[in-house]
Chains A and B, each alone.
Chain A
Amino acid sequence: MATQIRELIGNHKILPVPLERVRDEDDLYELGMTSFASVQLMLALEEAFDIEFPERMLNRKTFASISAIDRSVTELVSGRA
């Protein structure tokens, strides 16, 4: 799943830095992800994984790193199954 998340981040140009240098735990906001970009990423994730982030997850922490996104998406995908 982390690979797919990386692809989305790359395709939607969410970060101003090359993706290969980003580790799963790195803070995406610190790497230059803007608030706008995090919304774009949220919508892209919802479409790609056919999920909807509930209100409790609409916060900075959910999208703060690739591993944080991975955890949230995994939870939502498994909840759906």
Chain B
Amino acid sequence: MNAIPPEIRAAEAAAAPVAPAKPFLDRLFEDGVLMPTGVDGLYGRSGVFEEVIDGFERLVERFSREDGAVKIHFPPAMPRVNMEKSGYLKSFPQLAGSIHSFMGNDGDHCQLIAALTEGRDWAEYQSPTDVVLTPAACYPLYPTVAAKGAVPETGLLFDLKSYCFRHEPSKEPTRMQLFRMRENVCIGTPEQVREFRERWLERGPKMIESLGLPCELDVANDPFFGRGGKLMARNQRDQQLKFELLIPVNDGAGPTACLSFNYHQNHFGSLWGMKREDGEEAHSACVGFGLERIALALFRHHGNDVAKWPESVRAALFG
């Protein structure tokens, strides 16, 4: 267990160029908070790590219950056709993950085994299934809502959680390939969804500060692909469609986005044909909580021994 008080560890991190402290990820492995699997961004989590996430989720749930958000749980995968239609592959082809499987005959199987035995690439014997990995917790929601008919006048509120996949292997523990996102989503009029976002923009920083973590809000953009993506990113920033709540977590890197607040305008409404009762396209907004990132921020600032975390933080999470 790591017995060094957080303030000393923070000082160590600041002095890193002189005598590099052990990387944060290595300390997490050493103390058994995370377990390596051999692939960057794919880790086992300790029971304690999960308890921290559970504790944080209770804080989120207190608000989402108060708001009357409806809980829905999707598996961490969605129909391939829905990803194709969603435009995700236009904006983020580099992050998407599709599930492939063997669909050949006996002869193909022999070739697959031969390729494996000889250490050759065996991907050519795999074919895409009807299923892709969920890239953001709210992606499976919109077609489901659209199928139910018009969005009522009062708007709709949902509370979601999913493992999400993004192909971005990294040594930064906060950039996992498979991670959980808790989301609250509002669908309704522009006024309703903007008000929803404002409400969470106020709550988010307070929640994080109550856990003894420093944070700052900033305008942000999604990591759109390519040169066209630069235009998309600037459009998004100019219109202040995305805000992030940033917390310093990683060694020598800028702060990490742990919460995001997104106004999609009528993007999903138009894409999926989500209409309001008055026939207008529905607007939507979501607040996303990067659960592993928030847990990692807590470990980073309060140490790997949860028993030694400040009493106020323990009370907020486990009280």
Contacts and interface: CB of A to CB of B under 8 A. Distances in A.
B228 interface: yes
A60 B239 CA distance: 10
A60 B238 contact: yes
Nearest to A59: B234
Given A34-B267, A36-B87, A36-B90, A42 B235 contact: no
A58 B231 CA distance: 5
Interface in A1-57: 34-36, 38-39, 42-43, 53, 55
Interface string B229-241: 1111011101100
B230 A60 contact: no
B120 interface: no
A58 B234 contact: yes
A53 B234 CA distance: 14
Interface in B87-137: 87, 90-91
Nearest to A16: B270
B230 A38 contact: no
Contacts of B227: 53, 58
A61 to B, nearest CB: 9
Given A36-B87, A36-B90, A55 B230 contact: yes
Q: Which of A35, A36, A38, A53 has the most CB of B within 10 A?
A: A35
A26 B238 CA distance: 19
Contact of B234 (A34, A36, A43, A60): A60
Nearest to B226: A39
Contacts of B236: 35
Interface residues of B, number: 16
B267 A59 contact: no
Contact of A38 (B87, B90, B235, B267): B235
A53 B230 CA distance: 11
A39 B239 CA distance: 16
Nearest to B87: A36
A59 B238 contact: yes
A48 to B, nearest CB: 16
Contacts of B90: 36
Nearest to B235: A35
Contacts of A34: 267, 270
Contacts of A58: 227, 230-231, 234
Contact of A60 (B87, B228, B235, B270): B235
Interface string A50-75: 00010100111001000000000000
A60 B234 CA distance: 7
Contacts of A39: 228-229, 231-232
Given A59-B238, A60-B238, A35 B230 contact: no
Nearest to A61: B238
B238 A35 contact: no
A55 B227 CA distance: 8
Interface in B225-284: 227-232, 234-236, 238-239, 267, 270
Given A36-B90, A42-B228, A63-B231, 7 more contacts: A36-B232, A38-B231, A39-B228, A39-B229, A39-B231, A58-B234, A60-B238
30 contacts: A34-B267, A35-B231, A35-B232, A35-B235, A36-B87, A36-B90, A36-B91, A36-B232, A38-B231, A38-B235, A39-B228, A39-B229, A39-B231, A42-B228, A43-B228, A53-B227, A55-B230, A58-B227, A58-B230, A58-B231, A58-B234, A59-B231, A59-B234, A59-B235, A59-B238, A60-B234, A60-B235, A60-B238, A60-B239, A63-B231
Interface of A: 34-36, 38-39, 42-43, 53, 55, 58-60, 63
